[in-house]
Structure 1
């Protein structure tokens, strides 16, 4: 009975972590859309918004890591490793956030979520380029089905904006490249960064990289806009939601798995599409839904395949450990037998 209670408690906590992550991710997406959309809050400065997020997250992460020492820095993080590994990852992250936030000005929340279904396709393709993945015909067929579904959804989009689509596709490409480079530049060296240490190292890089386009593209507009004033309630709560989302990722992945977050992401996307249609009153056409449903099936199959691969790897690891343990016991018995034989002969 105690075991059943323990299993039930673990299941309840897992669902709680999933709900917290979905709620925060949902809130950040809708909040960013509200701020950036010209018909809502009407503050179309995506670089500035991203820099505000990064400045806030950098400050909190610094306090947690250096002042309160809630999280320890990786001992193997050297200046050379930081420059060669973290800086490129920070550059890609800044571009991903910049273009992703920019897309909210031109596209609906629902259509952006449909385009984000291309993330597995992008990660797999870039993984092939960097030789982190091997080509498999069934996986490629799965990627084609996802791409086809997104293409149908795009064909049925009522307010299609080619510039917005290009921005979102670039954001997906940069984010996928960042994820692959994390595996190559950090994980392969035995360095694993949780969201807090990631922000501690990466967020300042983002600020530096974004400062140049900000000075050229947005600062002159903000300087010449006499009516502009920074609403600390709006931007403070928005930044707090963004930081809390990073903590929720840490909680969800740490207590469950990255695969759980991928599956929860599919649920979140459907909720956002429903919210976008029912509350924001974005137009969602039947062709939109049909195309995204095809992409959804492809993503679901992709997640299922990853789960099966993880289970197979775990089973192989357990079998290897069992073989090693059996070998060790056999050696101990042989050693005991040799010792007894020596005592008899003596």
Structure 2
């Protein structure tokens, strides 16, 4: 057995309970860091007038590569040995990661933000479909029902101007499917045959994602605009803000991969929807935004649905853990 997965011998019941207990700790950390990065990204773009989303994504990928290599150098984990086919899987995964971001950014220019958020709220539905088709997973009836307030809650929370073009509609739906697929694949490469350590996955994916992001920024002309911006607007404060942003993104990726491994792809997509409405609440407080009663109803429904789903998953996981005396 590889060193990163070696552990002391213990009864299987205790091992299962340990995984169960820590999964919600990692999920809570995912919430906190995801919200922090979302608000920090908005603050960086507003305070420093830095409208370069691909460059920001490149900074995230670069910090992910540096951070994961640093942990490898410190001996925190040992990378698995992959054959040629498995290395190709990692390359395709990094491409999926980059294309998912690209399509999401492009579609935002062709649809309004409320429409974009509503379609993205359907990610749990696509995750269920993909899990059933490719992983042969089964979900309880109550799980399906608990997703309804989560999805409709995001619809109400983001109600507004629903304008979209035909191409925008197609790309937004495609981006949502890809987001669900990325979450499912992330779970499989960590708990399936590869069983990659979260830091190992990040070490393999980040450099590839960084190169692909830089290429995309060059093709779209953003890299040229960044060079022009740097000559006149780059300050020490902005550099510090970007580095801090990258560090937060690195730890978010580690926590996200770990939470995905310890829970499930569906749980992560539901968590993403709940995070979305929590972002709205914090944005209202921090940036002095206003919400309508309909938005408030949507926020309440999403939080209620998220809590309901968590309770159902808790009950189902308790039923799958055998008693200690057995």
Q: Same fold by TM (over 0.5)?
A: yes
Could you tell me which residue of structure 2 aligns to residue 71 of structure 1? 77
Question: Where does 1:152-191 land on structure 2 (aligned, <5 Å)?
Answer: 152-154=156-158, 156-157=159-160, 162=164, 171-184=175-188, 187-189=191-193, 191=194
Could you tell me which residue of structure 1 aligns to residue 216 of structure 2? 213
Residues 1:95 and 2:99 are matched in the alignment: yes
The TM-score, its normalising length taken from structure 1, stands at: 0.68
Could you tell me which residue of structure 2 aligns to residue 294 of structure 1? 301
Quote the offset at 1:53 in angstroms. 0.9
Assess if the C-alpha contact under 8 Å between 1:117 and 1:296 holds in 2: no
Deviations 1:26-80 (A, max 9, x none): 22111112233xx543222111111111012102212221x322211124x2232
Partner Cα separation in structure 2 for residue 143 and residue 267 of structure 1: 11
Residue 42 of structure 1 is aligned with which of 34, 39, 49?
49
Assess if the C-alpha contact under 8 Å between 1:113 and 1:273 holds in 2: no
Partner Cα separation in structure 1 for residue 239 and residue 44 of structure 2: 13
Which has more radius of gyration?
1
Question: Cα distance 1:209–1:79, how it changes in 2: closer, same or farther (>3 A)?
Answer: same
Quote the offset at 1:124 in angstroms. 1.0
Could you tell me which residue of structure 1 aligns to residue 136 of structure 2? 132
Question: Where does 1:170-249 land on structure 2 (aligned, <5 Å)?
Answer: 171-184=175-188, 187-189=191-193, 191-217=194-220, 218-225=222-229, 227-229=232-234, 231-249=238-256
Quote the offset at 1:277 in angstroms. 0.8
The TM-score, its normalising length taken from structure 2, stands at: 0.72
Assess if the C-alpha contact under 8 Å between 1:107 and 1:160 holds in 2: yes
Give the number of equivalent residue pairs: 299
Assess if the C-alpha contact under 8 Å between 1:87 and 1:205 holds in 2: yes
Assess if the C-alpha contact under 8 Å between 1:64 and 1:70 holds in 2: yes
Deviations 1:104-157 (A, max 9, x none): 99988x998877654422311222342533476554444455433333334x33
Partner Cα separation in structure 2 for residue 288 and residue 252 of structure 1: 29
Assess if the C-alpha contact under 8 Å between 1:46 and 1:102 holds in 2: no
Partner Cα separation in structure 2 for residue 125 and residue 235 of structure 1: 37
Quote the offset at 1:249 in angstroms. 4.5
Question: Cα distance 1:210–1:265, how it changes in 2: closer, same or farther (>3 A)?
Answer: closer
Structure scoring higher RCO (CA < 8 A, sep ≥ 6) equals 2
Residues 1:148 and 2:170 are matched in the alignment: no
SS of equivalent to 1:193? coil
Assess if the C-alpha contact under 8 Å between 1:90 and 1:202 holds in 2: yes
Question: Cα distance 1:223–1:166, how it changes in 2: closer, same or farther (>3 A)?
Answer: farther
Partner Cα separation in structure 1 for residue 169 and residue 225 of structure 2: 24
Question: Cα distance 1:198–1:251, how it changes in 2: closer, same or farther (>3 A)?
Answer: closer
Residue 311 of structure 1 is aligned with which of 297, 318, 321?
318
Question: Cα distance 1:41–1:107, how it changes in 2: closer, same or farther (>3 A)?
Answer: farther
Quote the offset at 1:222 in angstroms. 2.6
